[in-house]
């Protein structure tokens, strides 16, 4: 049971990490292209919130 839970966690973790990396890379390119502070703030918010949410889920 614990083993299955760990496998699910690692799969979800890998999925979220790949999605996050792709999103961060595209947002970073857009932010450097436009040099928009609002876009940078949105990149930071949307980039960090899933990670924080996932870590809080893992601690419980």
For residue 32, the model assigns a pLDDT of 64
Counted domains in the chain: 1
For residue 17, the model assigns a pLDDT of 77
For residue 31, the model assigns a pLDDT of 61
**Token pair for residue 29?**
């390119």
Does this model's pTM top 0.75? My answer is no
**Residue labelled with tokens 């839970």:** 5
Query: Which structural domain range is residue 13 located in?
Result: 2-59
Burial class (CB in 10 A: 0-12, 13-18, 19+), 47: middle
**Each residue of 5-60: pLDDT tens digit?**
767 777 777 777 777 777 777 776 766 666 656 666 666 676 667 666 667 766 65
Q: How far apart are CA 38 and CA 4, in angstroms?
A: 41
């Amino acid at each position: 049971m614990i083993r299955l839970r760990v496998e699910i966690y690692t799969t979800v973790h890998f999925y979220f990490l790949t999605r996050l990396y792709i999103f961060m890379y595209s947002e970073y390119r857009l932010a450097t292209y436009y040099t928009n502070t609002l876009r940078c703030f949105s990149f930071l918010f949307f980039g960090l919130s899933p990670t924080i949410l996932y870590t809080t889920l893992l601690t419980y």
